[in-house]
Chain A
Amino acid sequence: MIRTIAWREFRSLFLSPLAFVILAVTQLILARLFLAHVNLFLMVESRLPTLPNPPGLTTLVAAPLLGNVGVLLLLIIAPLATMRLVADERHNKTLPLLFSAPISMRDIVLGKYLGVLGFFLVITALALAMPLALLIGGHLDFGMLACGLLGLVLLAAALAAVGLFVSTLTQYPAVAVMGTFGILFLLWILGYANSGHGLGRRIVATLSIVDHYEPFLRGLFSTANVVYYLVLTLTCLLFAVRKLESERVGA
Chain B
Amino acid sequence: MIVRSRILTWGSQGAFVLLWLAIATLVVAIGERYRYTADWTANGRNSLSAPSVAIVKALRGPVRVDAFVHGGAKQRAIRALIAKYRRVDPRIRLTFVNPNKHPARVRRVGITFNGELQIHYGKRAALVLSPTEIGITNQLARLERTGLQRITFLTGNGERGITNAGPLGLSSWAHQLRARGLRVTTFDIASGHALTPAAGVLVIADPRAPFLAGERKMLVRYLASGGSLLWLFEPGHTDGLGALMRPFGIGVRTGFAVDPTSSLLTGESPGFIAVTHYPNQDLVRGMHLVTVFPSAAALTLKPVNGVKATPILQTDSGAWVQHRPLKGLIRPKPGTKTGALTLGVALTRPVRPSSRQRIVAIGDSDFVSNAYLGEGGNMTLAMNAANWLTHDDAFINVPNRPSPDLTLILTAPEEDVITFGFLVILPLAFAGLGIATWWRRRRL
- B23-61 near A? 1/0 per residue, CB < 8 Å: 010011111100111111111011000000000000000
The smallest C-beta distance from B187 to any residue of chain A, in angstroms, reads 40
- Interface assignment of B134: CB less than 8 Å from any CB of chain A: yes
Residue among B36, B46, B406, B411 making CB contact with A219, cutoff 8 Å: B46
Residue among A17, A139, A143, A227 making CB contact with B31, cutoff 8 Å: A227
Beyond A222-B36, A238-B20, is A53–B400 a contact (Cβ under 8 Å)? Answer: yes
Q: How far is the CA of A138 from the CA of B36 in the complex (A)?
A: 32
Count of B interface residues, CB-CB < 8 Å:
61
Residues of B with C-beta under 8 A to A144: 40-42, 45
Q: Is the CB of B418 within 8 A of A228?
A: no
Q: Is the CB of A20 within 8 A of B41?
A: no
Q: Is the CB of B430 within 8 A of A27?
A: yes
**How many contacting A-B pairs (Cβ < 8 A)?**
188
- Interface assignment of B434: CB less than 8 Å from any CB of chain A: yes
Interface residue range, chain A? 35 or more
The secondary structure that dominates the A interface is: helix
Q: Is the CB of B35 within 8 A of A224?
A: yes
Q: Is the CB of B408 within 8 A of A42?
A: yes
Q: Is the CB of A220 within 8 A of B31?
A: no
Within 8 A of B (CB), among A217-234: 218-224, 226-228, 231, 234
- Interface assignment of A75: CB less than 8 Å from any CB of chain B: no
- Interface assignment of A28: CB less than 8 Å from any CB of chain B: yes
The smallest C-beta distance from B66 to any residue of chain A, in angstroms, reads 13
Q: Is the CB of A20 within 8 A of B405?
A: no
Q: Is the CB of A59 within 8 A of B423?
A: no
Residue among A27, A137, A192, A222 making CB contact with B408, cutoff 8 Å: A137
Q: How far is the CA of A52 from the CA of B365 in the complex (A)?
A: 31
Stretch at the interface among B198-206, B338-346, B435-443: B435-443
- A29-63 near B? 1/0 per residue, CB < 8 Å: 01110110010011001001100111111110000
Beyond A28-B423, A246-B13, is A138–B407 a contact (Cβ under 8 Å)? Answer: yes
What would 6 more interface pairs be, CB under 8 Å, given A21-B434, A59-B403, A231-B31?
A20-B437, A28-B423, A54-B403, A55-B45, A140-B405, A220-B38
Q: A residues engaging B (CB < 8 A)? A: 14-17, 19-21, 23-25, 27-28, 30-32, 34-35, 38, 41-42, 45, 48-49, 52-59, 126, 129-130, 133-134, 136-144, 146-147, 192, 194-195, 206, 215, 218-224, 226-228, 231, 234-235, 238-239, 242, 246, 249-250
10 closest cross-chain pairs (CB), A and B: A56-B403, A20-B434, A227-B31, A56-B405, A24-B430, A219-B41, A31-B422, A138-B408, A143-B40, A57-B405
